[in-house]
Amino acid sequence: MKLHLLSAIRLTLATLVLFTVIYPLIIWSIAQVAPNQGKGFVVQNRTQTAVFYENIGQSFTQDKYFWSRPSAVDYNAAGSGASNKGPSNSEYLEVVKGRIQAFMVHNPDVQRAQIPVDLVTASGSGLDPHISVQAATVQVSRIAKIRNIPTDQLKRLIEQQVEKPLLGLFGPQQVNVLRLNLALDALVQ
């Protein structure tokens, strides 16, 4: 018994040192040689005043911008997570119906059946910076009217911002909303 207890204590101390000191130091060291020293990807707007992290979803609600995917955590990276409410939950269904109605008010040219699901439901993390190509395209009419830009030009802008699936196989085509909106602002400088 005494022998097993000492072995368990040694193993606990060894794993404690490994996972609280050695492993974090290894990861930190790798991050120091990575671009931007492991602080993420930083993008600045055209005035060079605001700094954004492009891998975390952000709220775009003005009609002159492409809207992001909704977030269950209000785009707070410190508290990533979903609502954990399923499609049979009446409270969740009311939230989605409200998002659909709000979208249709701001996009009167769009039929309810044309609204992609990623514009009215949050992702699992609540921080997804991407929307589908369809979600970007369905917003073109609204933005074209407000910014007085031809719809063909906006569609070309979306095509330029499309991120292809990994190795052409894994995942759907998607558009980073922050990059798309920065490119949109650059159009009208």
Using one digit for the tens of pLDDT, what is the confidence trace for 149-189? 999 999 999 999 999 988 878 888 999 998 899 899 888 76
Query: pLDDT grade, residue 99 (50/70/90)?
Result: very high
pLDDT on residue 84: 79
What is the secondary structure of 46-106 as a DSSP string?
A: TTS--EEETTS-----STTSPPPPP-TTTT-GGG-------TT-HHHHHHHHHHHHHHHHH
Query: pLDDT grade, residue 19 (50/70/90)?
Result: very high
What is the rounded CA–CA span in Å between residue 63 and residue 179? 17
pLDDT on residue 156: 95
* Residue 43 clears pLDDT 90, i.e. is over it: no
Question: For 1-15, how does the pLDDT look when each residue is reduced to its tens digit (9 = 90+)?
Answer: 777 898 999 999 999
The residue among 74, 42, 36 whose CA lies nearest residue 182 is 42
- pTM comes to 0.74
